[in-house]
DNA sequence: ATGTAC
């Protein structure tokens, strides 16, 4: 691989070589770059830069690591008329994302009942591989979920009418067409609404540990010492199946196109083609399912809090701050060389970071900017950031999505041998309940990059700004 | 990430 050019302390350019149509750009510090250099990640950033219709640059966020075709932590925008859309650029977990709710509670209110609270959450929130939820759907009803997203959940009693306002895209991509979703995907989705899943997915009871921006924190409803709920999950087996179906479909289709791919995992279709539109409509179904899933899970979490804390909804005050997706392709308008263009932004392990004034933001945040939710590992911290103009100008309104792994699942298991990760976290005041046999080892804090280092990069580069840090108290894992 | 398979 060619040399990397330093732009400044947090920006690096991978110059255009070979088939690259645009350069690559990596947001990270020097030590992160040294780690990224050793992986296939840079090759993947370069490969994406060779795809037809890509605009400006193939981007990588500081939490970047190797993924299927496209790296995780990557952002790539394609011209809506001349560009491609790729399932690998979205990822298997379509609309994997994060939702944050605040409460009126403070740490001192919850700490004494934390054990009971975490037990009750674990009991009532289905988690783990293949878990089934309490919502059982007919295919006809499931298709309504796929069309309506969050709205279906709210109309069926799961949460408040205003919740979709505090959800990216209002919790629904209107292009969704259930006729593009296979019977097999529909079958898998019937019983998984209101389930957490496994791996890095979690439900976390946390507390606001530090505020960096008082004004924005106030607009988001955050104050120091406040108890919060953070939820990380996606579209479960349904989204996985949609991705799998379309990867196979596109692998065949791409052979008919007049360009060759540097990696077969980048299979794609022209956005304007029937094949491209079919994927977009199916992907939108996966996205809507994930929003309904998080909406239902938040409602179930609220019910558990009410019972365990013995209080009414007004006293608990569990309010949705925001819900962001970090695995998705979106049709958006962006200024490119001073001209407004319609583009298809692929964010795979990257979060939208829209600034104050953006028309897509709900009224409450229009003058502040979009809340950006970035979970760290289960033992350290998560961050609330706010979107910026710099993101809009440089990264198609995008920033990082998490800590990013440093140890593979296998390496993590090896490193955890002979240790009790549960006890180590308990000693730090964090109670964890989990389902999977290897979850604690695979998800231990040492398996991830230091989240604060990732946050420093995006804050200092200006593609999102620090608002608050949350620390975990109780965690339910899959 | 994912009913660790077609």
* Assigned superfamily of A5-477: tRNA-splicing ligase RtcB (3.90.1860.10)
pLDDT in tens, A69-87: 999 999 999 999 999 999 9
Report the distance separating Cα A318 and Cα A356, nearest Å.
25
Tokens of A156: 């069926």
| pLDDT for residue A38 is more than 90 | no
Closest C1' nucleotide to A405's CA: B1
Nearest residue to nucleotide B1, by CA–C1' distance, is A93
pLDDT in tens, A159-214: 999 999 999 999 999 999 999 999 999 999 999 999 999 999 999 999 999 999 99
Average pLDDT over residues A39-68: 96
- The answer to whether the beta carbon of residue A65 comes closer than 7 angstroms to any atom of strand B is no
| Catalytic residue, candidates A253, A299, A358, A401 | A401
Q: State yes or no: is A334 an active-site residue.
A: no
Q: Give me the CA A129–C1' B4 separation in Å, rounded.
A: 11
Report the distance separating Cα A475 and Cα A206, nearest Å.
8
pLDDT attached to residue A1: 60
Contact A434, A201 (CB under 8 A): no
Phi, psi dihedrals of residue A279, rounded to the nearest 5°? -65, -45
- The answer to whether the beta carbon of residue A197 comes closer than 7 angstroms to any atom of strand B is yes
pLDDT attached to residue A3: 87
Contact A66, A405 (CB under 8 A): no
- The answer to whether the beta carbon of residue A395 comes closer than 7 angstroms to any atom of strand B is no
* Pairing, β A382-386 against β A465-477: antiparallel
- The answer to whether the beta carbon of residue A93 comes closer than 7 angstroms to any atom of strand B is yes
Q: Give me the CA A439–C1' B2 separation in Å, rounded.
A: 15
**In whole angstroms, how far apart are CA A120 and each of A200, A271, A275, A301, A453?**
20, 46, 45, 9, 34
Q: Give me the CA A296–C1' B3 separation in Å, rounded.
A: 22
């Amino acid at each position: 691989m060619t040399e990397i050019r330093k732009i400044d302390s947090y920006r690096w350019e991978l110059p255009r070589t070979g088939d690259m149509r645009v350069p690559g750009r990596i947001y990270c510090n020097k030590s992160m770059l040294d780690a990224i250099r050793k992986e296939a990640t840079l090759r993947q950033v370069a490969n994406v830069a060779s795809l037809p219709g890509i605009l400006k640059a193939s981007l990588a966020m500081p939490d970047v690591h190797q993924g299927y075709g496209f790296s995780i932590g990557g952002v790539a925008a394609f011209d809506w008329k001349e560009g491609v859309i790729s399932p690998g650029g979205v990822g298997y977990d379509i609309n994997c994302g994060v939702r944050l709710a605040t409460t009126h509670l403070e740490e001192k209110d919850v700490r004494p009942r934390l054990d009971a609270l975490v037990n009750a959450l674990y009991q009532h929130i289905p988690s783990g591989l293949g878990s089934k939820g309490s919502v059982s759907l007919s295919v006809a009803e499931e298709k309504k979920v796929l069309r309506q997203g969050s709205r279906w959940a709210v109309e069926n009693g799961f949460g408040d009418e205003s919740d979709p306002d505090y959800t990216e895209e209002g919790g629904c991509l209107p292009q969704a067409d259930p006729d593009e979703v296979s019977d097999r995907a529909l079958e898998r989705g019937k019983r998984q609404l209101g389930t957490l899943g496994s791996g890095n997915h979690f439900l976390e009871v946390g507390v606001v540990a530090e505020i960096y921006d008082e004004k924005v924190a106030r607009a988001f409803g955050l104050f120091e010492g406040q108890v919060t709920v953070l939820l990380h999950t996606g579209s479960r087996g349904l989204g996985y199946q949609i991705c799998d179906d379309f990867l196979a479909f596109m692998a065949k289709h791409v052979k008919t196109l007049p360009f060759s791919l540097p990696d077969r995992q980048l299979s794609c279709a022209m956005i304007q083609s029937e094949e491209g539109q079919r994927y977009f409509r199916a992907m939108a179904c996966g996205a809507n399912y994930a929003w309904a899933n998080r909406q239902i899970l938040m409602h179930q979490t609220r019910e558990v809090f009410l019972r365990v804390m013995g209080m009414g909804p007004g006293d608990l005050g569990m309010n949705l701050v925001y819900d962001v997706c970090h695995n998705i392709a979106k049709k958006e308008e962006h200024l490119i060389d001073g001209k407004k263009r319609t583009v298809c932004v692929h964010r795979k392990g990257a979060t939208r970071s829209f600034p104050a004034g953006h028309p897509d933001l709900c009224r409450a945040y229009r003058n502040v900017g979009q809340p950006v939710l970035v979970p760290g590992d289960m033992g350290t911290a998560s961050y609330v950031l706010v979107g910026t103009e710099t993101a809009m100008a440089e990264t198609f309104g995008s920033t990082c999505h998490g800590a990013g792994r440093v140890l593979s699942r296998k390496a993590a298991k090896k490193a955890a041998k002979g240790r009790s990760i549960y006890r180590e976290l308990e000693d730090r005041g964090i109670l964890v309940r989990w389902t999977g046999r290897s979850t604690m080892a695979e998800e231990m804090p040492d398996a991830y990059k230091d989240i604060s280092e990732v946050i420093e990069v995006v804050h200092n580069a200006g593609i999102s700004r620090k608002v608050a840090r949350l620390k975990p108290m109780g965690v339910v894992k899959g």
